[in-house]
Chains A and B, each alone.
Chain A
Amino acid sequence: MTNSELQVLVSSWMDGLEFIDEGAQYLTITVPKENLRDLMFKLRDDSEAAFDYMFSLTAVDWGKNRGMVYHLESTKYRHIIVVHVYTEDETLDTISDIYPTAILNEREAYDLMGIIFTGHPDLRRLFLQDDWVGHPLRKDYVDEANMIVK
Chain B
Amino acid sequence: MTTTEIDNKTGLVTQEYKINMGPQHPAAHGVLRLVLTLDGEIIEKVDPDLGYIHRGIEKMTERDTYKQIVHLTDRLDYLSSHINNEAVCLAVENALQIEVSDRVKVIRTIIAELTRLASHQLWWGVMGMDIGALTTFMYAFRDRELINDIMEETCGTRLTMNYNKPGGLMFDIHPNFQKRVKEFIKHFKVSLPEYNTLLSGNVIFKKRLQGIGYMSKEDAIAYGVSGPSARGSNISCDVRKIHPYSAYDRVDFNEILMEGGDSYDRYMVRMKEMEESMKIIEQLIDNIPEGDFETKTAAVLKLPKGEYYQKVESARGEFGVFIVSDGKKSPYRMKFRSPGFANLSILDKISRGHKIADLVAIMSSLDFVIPDIDR
Interface residue ranges, A against B (CB under 8 Å): 23-26, 28, 52-56, 58, 60-61, 69, 71, 75, 78, 82, 99-101, 103-105, 108, 112, 126-129, 136-137, 147-150
Contact B306 A100 (CB under 8 A): no
Is residue B50 contacting chain A, with contact meaning CB distance below 8 A?
A: yes
Smallest CB-CB A-B distances: 3 pairs: A127-B51, A101-B224, A58-B335
The interface residues of chain B lying within 8 Å CB-to-CB of A105 are 341, 345
State A55–B345 Cα separation when bound (angstroms): 13
Contact B335 A55 (CB under 8 A): no
The interface residues of chain B lying within 8 Å CB-to-CB of A108 are 341
A55 contacts which of B48, B58, B226, B374 (Cβ < 8 Å)?
Answer: B226
> 1/0 per position for B231-261, CB-CB distance to A under 8 A?
0000111000010000000000000000000
CB-nearest residue of chain A to B332: A60
Is residue B56 contacting chain A, with contact meaning CB distance below 8 A?
A: yes
Kindly list 10 other residue pairs between chains A and B, CB separation below 8 angstroms, not including A58-B335, A82-B309. A23-B306, A24-B307, A53-B221, A55-B337, A55-B342, A56-B335, A71-B337, A78-B242, A136-B56, A148-B63
Contact B51 A100 (CB under 8 A): no
The stretch of B5-13, B110-118, B175-183, B317-325 that contacts the partner chain: B317-325
A122: shortest Cβ distance to chain B, in Å? 9
Contact B345 A103 (CB under 8 A): yes
A55-B320, A100-B222, A136-B56 known; A82 and B307 CB under 8 Å?
yes
State A108–B332 Cα separation when bound (angstroms): 19
Is residue B223 contacting chain A, with contact meaning CB distance below 8 A?
A: yes
The interface residues of chain B lying within 8 Å CB-to-CB of A129 are 51
Contact A150 B63 (CB under 8 A): yes
The interface residues of chain B lying within 8 Å CB-to-CB of A69 are 307, 322, 324
B63 contacts which of A52, A53, A149 (Cβ < 8 Å)?
Answer: A149
The interface residues of chain B lying within 8 Å CB-to-CB of A25 are 307-309
Contact A100 B223 (CB under 8 A): yes
The interface residues of chain B lying within 8 Å CB-to-CB of A75 are 221, 235-237
A52-B221, A55-B318, A78-B242 known; A100 and B345 CB under 8 Å?
yes
Which B residues between 279 and 329 are near A, CB-CB below 8 angstroms? 306-309, 311, 318, 320, 322, 324
CB-nearest residue of chain A to B243: A78
State A122–B224 Cα separation when bound (angstroms): 19
CB-nearest residue of chain B to A56: B337
The interface residues of chain A lying within 8 Å CB-to-CB of B51 are 126-129
State A60–B226 Cα separation when bound (angstroms): 24
State A24–B224 Cα separation when bound (angstroms): 24
Provide a sorted-by-A list of 27 A–B residue pairs whose CB atoms are within 8 angstroms: A24-B307, A25-B307, A52-B222, A53-B221, A55-B226, A55-B311, A55-B320, A56-B335, A56-B337, A58-B322, A58-B333, A60-B332, A71-B320, A78-B242, A82-B307, A82-B309, A99-B224, A100-B222, A101-B222, A101-B223, A103-B345, A104-B48, A105-B345, A128-B51, A136-B59, A147-B59, A148-B63
Is residue B361 contacting chain A, with contact meaning CB distance below 8 A?
A: no
The interface residues of chain A lying within 8 Å CB-to-CB of B221 are 52-53, 75
B140: shortest Cβ distance to chain A, in Å? 30
Contact B344 A104 (CB under 8 A): yes
The interface residues of chain A lying within 8 Å CB-to-CB of B337 are 55-56, 71
A75-B235, A101-B342, A126-B50 known; A55 and B224 CB under 8 Å?
yes
A104 contacts which of B226, B242, B341 (Cβ < 8 Å)?
Answer: B341
> 1/0 per position for B326-350, CB-CB distance to A under 8 A?
0000001101010001101100000
State A127–B307 Cα separation when bound (angstroms): 26
